[in-house]
Amino acid sequence: MKKLAIIVPCYNEEAVLQQSYLRTKAALAGLDYLIEFIYINDGSFDRTRELLDEIAAGDAQVKVIHFSRNFGHQAAVTAGINHCDADLAVIIDADMQDPPELIPDMLALQQAESAHVIYCVRKSRAGERRFKRLTSKLFYRVLNFMSDVNFPLDTGDFRLIDRKVMHEFDRFKERGKYVRGLISWVGFKQVPFYYTREARIGGRTKYSFRKMWKFAGTAMLYFSNKPLRLATSLGFIAVFVGVILALWFTLGKIYGFNHANSGWTSIMTTVIFFGGVQLLTVGVLGQYVGILFDELKARPEYIIDEKRNFRDSK
């Protein structure tokens, strides 16, 4: 019998955790799979740790990983995949915006298509503000434009992956992972599953604008060197504009068709333009240097404080 793991990253989810566990367990009842849950407590400071320990104490199929501090959603998903020995795994958040009742249909589609990945595409997103929906759509389209790899649009981490994909994912050594991007990058047969995303069953979203901005930057810079090429292009444009302006002012001074000495506006515009291009270029280079610095330090992506119901609990 095949084994199915449900990977659930958690950060301050005390308001939804018990209901999320019971609802997911009920949705999987009757499936012809060995079921296990892998919860990753990403340094929560509410009662998430206590609740997870209670659930694990009452259900031997529930495994729990407690981080030493908050390392981020992508690190939590990574830890879940790294510690999964199942044939298939579903990545799902605890807030139930991605309905666990869809998992049997995802499994059926995976079997029918002999797919390695079933990625879930959002047809609509309930309970989210217009600004977040707009920026999310914009993000995926800009990412596809900037990246050297085409990613599915309007998808999250909610997906089903098989053992072959998990094996390849475990080989990735970079620290700043963009999980859904890496899973797309590995290739194999990947099939879309369309669904309607629901509102959270409780609590508040943990992705602030600052976190979303950082997440978008990681996705862009780790998957493309186009920002560097864009900075180079802007440099060439700045040089071209500078040459044109120099010729304009010089010839205007000679032939008298402009007043270069009194052109305060044009001078300031030129200075601001060139300064902006230089700062943008230096900023892009700085981001890539920062990524290299983080990778060279080779610090672990996450640190585990404690594990529950694993054979090796250290």
Strand 304-308 vs strand 62-67: parallel, antiparallel, or unpaired? antiparallel
* Chain segment 241-257, per-residue pLDDT in tens: 766 766 776 676 666 66
Do 204 and 278 belong together in one domain? no
For 57, the 3-state DSSP assignment is: helix
* Chain segment 248-290, per-residue pLDDT in tens: 766 766 666 665 555 555 666 667 666 766 766 776 676 677 6
Instruction: Give the CATH number for residue 111.
Output: 3.90.550.10
154 within 8 A of 120, measured Cβ to Cβ:
no
Domains contained in the chain, number: 2
* C-alpha–C-alpha distance, residues 147 and 226, integer Å: 7
* Chain segment 3-34, per-residue pLDDT in tens: 999 999 999 888 888 888 999 999 998 888 89
User: Does some domain include residue 314?
Assistant: no
- For residue 15, what is the DSSP state? T
80 within 8 A of 65, measured Cβ to Cβ:
yes
* C-alpha–C-alpha distance, residues 31 and 3, integer Å: 11
User: How many CA atoms within 13 Å lie on the side-chain side of 309?
Assistant: 20
For 121, the 3-state DSSP assignment is: strand
Do 17 and 28 belong together in one domain? yes
Do 38 and 165 belong together in one domain? yes
Do 293 and 262 belong together in one domain? yes
